[in-house]
Amino acid sequence: MNLRRRHLIAALAAGVAAAPTRGRLAAERVSLPSPPEGQSPSVLARNENYWREVASHYDRSDGIVNLEHGYWGKMARPVQEAYLDATRRVNAGNSVYGRRHYPSDVGRSVRHIAQALGAHDDEIVLTRNASEAIQNLIRQYRGLGAGDAVLYADVDYPQFKTTMHWLESSRGVRAVMLALPARATQQAILDRYRQAFDAHPDLRLMLLTHVSNQHGLVIPVAAIAAEARQRGIDVICDSAQSWGLLDYRISDLGVDWAGFNLHKWIGSPVGVGALYMRRGTLEKIAPFPGEADPDNTRAATRIHMGTANFAAMLSIPDALDFHTLIGGANKEARLRYLRGLWTDEAERMPHVEVLGGADEASWTGMGAFRLAGKSSAHDAQQLQQRLERDFGIFTVVRKGLASGHCVRITPQVFTSPREIMALTDAMQRIRA
Ligand SMILES: Cc1ncc(COP(=O)(O)O)c(C=O)c1O
């Protein structure tokens, strides 16, 4: 029996609805319990038995409470096994496999991403990470001339802000930074972007981050992109942190171009990202230097990856399978629930400032905080170090917000409420 068939049987035996397509997840051992009939994602989010079962599919390391899962996502064990199998297969087959079979095998990975995002296959290009996709989009954008302006925000990814600035020297444009409030609703964020559009009628291009890597703030991409389109401003969307943290399809974003990671919340091996370019929008993004696309029909010419990790790319269907078994909406709801466990407590602590969403739609499972009035780099570093040294909690300092520095808190699907309680206990005990 082939693995795909075994996987389907395992999934069905567990009562989990079969997803529209399947990878070849070495998943005969995967038997996630079916969520109780009719249980909505927000109810399932509180079902500790179910999430303990999910957690049992991940290897854990003892000794520290890790609340820094925004860096990259841990592979579930069946995905890791599929990845190790692929590594052995590729290594044994070497160039014969690489030249004869890999191109068609990796095509399956592209199809799986396209299907999961609701895109066409020819709109998706594999990359090694979101940086590769987004940096190429920014650098190869050809709609700029001297006197134009480009927009980014404080909540954007630091290295992409740098590249937006580099456009000043390389293209003679003006880079404008929009500072968002430390806490914001969807409406307030949209209003700020509208104000920036009004204030800078020379804007031609903007970077728009779906979920900020600083504090998990959700930007209302579709509404802002629609407004930008009306004003003739092109949008490059940074979805590096959002796919899997939030459950959505590409059409929900309403953008022409986006960069994704699969090694964060989709749970692929490290080294897997994707570029999305909507059909009919290729003419404004030049091919990779030296490559040609005379008809502007091949998004793939926008990336030149070189030799990359074959096995990681081949494991994409397996990662998407495992993600689908949990369910994107269930994952999002659980992560939101875990975030609420600490932010609800923290909101009642006068010495703590919670950063990010001011309404639920602006929140994700990722969040951030600082001690009230303590927003310097030194303050944030001290807070991170105290959490680690005195309480055994691992977090990370984020330095990009206009409102100041903070400590980011990011649980994963295998994080337990007890681990979140360790954080809130620590927050109670750390007084300014
Ligand atoms: C919002 C955002 N953009 C871009 C990136 C870059 O991702 P990568 O390093 O995987 O390319 C990250 C990584 O944390 C991110 O959070």
Per-residue pLDDT of the chain (432 residues), as tens digits, is 333 434 433 433 333 333 333 455 544 446 666 767 789 999 999 999 999 999 999 999 888 999 999 999 999 999 999 999 999 999 999 999 999 999 999 999 999 999 999 999 999 999 999 999 999 999 999 999 999 999 999 999 999 999 999 999 999 999 999 999 999 999 999 999 999 999 999 999 999 999 999 999 999 999 999 999 999 999 999 999 999 999 999 999 999 999 999 999 999 999 999 999 999 999 999 999 999 999 999 999 999 999 999 999 999 999 999 999 999 999 999 999 999 999 999 999 999 999 999 999 999 999 999 999 999 999 999 999 999 999 999 999 999 999 999 999 999 999 999 999 999 999 999 985
Q: Please, where are the H alpha helices in 64-129?
A: 77-100, 102-117
What's residue 30's pLDDT?
64
CA distance to 285, 344, 374, 390, 392, per residue, from 407 (Å): 36, 17, 11, 16, 15
Largest CA distance in the chain: 64
Bridge-based pairing of strands 257-261 and 273-277 is antiparallel
List, in sequence order, every residue forming a beta bridge with 32; answer none if it has no partner: none
**Structural contact between residues 265 and 71, judged by C-beta atoms closer than 8 angstroms:** no
CA nearest 165: which of 150, 178, 154?
150
Question: For the purposes of burial, counting CB atoms within 10 Å of the CB of 404, is it exposed (0-12), middle (13-18) or buried (19 or more)?
Answer: middle
**Ligand 1 mutation pick, 128, 132, 152, 157, max ligand atoms within 8 A of CB:** 157
242 within ligand 1 shell (Cβ under 6 A): no
**Ligand 1 mutation pick, 162, 238, 398, 410, max ligand atoms within 8 A of CB:** 238
What's residue 19's pLDDT?
33
**Ligand 1 mutation pick, 71, 126, 127, 131, max ligand atoms within 8 A of CB:** 131
CA nearest 126: which of 294, 283, 319, 284?
319
Distance from Cα 254 to the centre of ligand 1, integer Å:
20
What's residue 274's pLDDT?
98
Secondary structure of residue 281 in the 3-state scheme: coil
Q: How many CB atoms lie within 10 A of CB 47?
A: 16
What's residue 361's pLDDT?
98
**Structural contact between residues 114 and 121, judged by C-beta atoms closer than 8 angstroms:** yes
Secondary structure of residue 76 in the 3-state scheme: coil
- For residue 55, the surrounding DSSP H or E stretch is helix 48-55
Tokens read off for 18:
């079969």
What is the domain partition of the chain in residue ranges? Answer: 99-319, 330-429
- Nearest Cα residue to atom 5 of ligand 1: 240
What's residue 62's pLDDT?
82
What's residue 73's pLDDT?
96
**Structural contact between residues 387 and 360, judged by C-beta atoms closer than 8 angstroms:** no
**Structural contact between residues 242 and 210, judged by C-beta atoms closer than 8 angstroms:** yes
241 within ligand 1 shell (Cβ under 6 A): yes
What span, in angstroms and rounded, lies between the C-alpha atoms of 216 and 354?
11
What's residue 212's pLDDT?
98
Residues 60, 66, 70: CA angle, nearest 5 degrees = 105
330-429: CATH homologous superfamily?
Answer: Aspartate Aminotransferase, domain 1 (3.90.1150.10)
236 within ligand 1 shell (Cβ under 6 A): no
CATH of domain 99-319: 3.40.640.10
214 within ligand 1 shell (Cβ under 6 A): no
Distance from Cα 131 to the centre of ligand 1, integer Å:
6
CA distance to 189, 269, 371, per residue, from 265 (Å): 24, 11, 28
What's residue 20's pLDDT?
33
186 within ligand 1 shell (Cβ under 6 A): no
* Ligand 1 atom showing the smallest separation from residue 213 Cα: 16
* Ligand 1 atom showing the smallest separation from residue 211 Cα: 1
Q: How many CB atoms lie within 10 A of CB 348?
A: 9
- Nearest Cα residue to atom 10 of ligand 1: 129
72 within ligand 1 shell (Cβ under 6 A): no
What's residue 295's pLDDT?
94
Distance from Cα 95 to the centre of ligand 1, integer Å:
31
213 within ligand 1 shell (Cβ under 6 A): yes
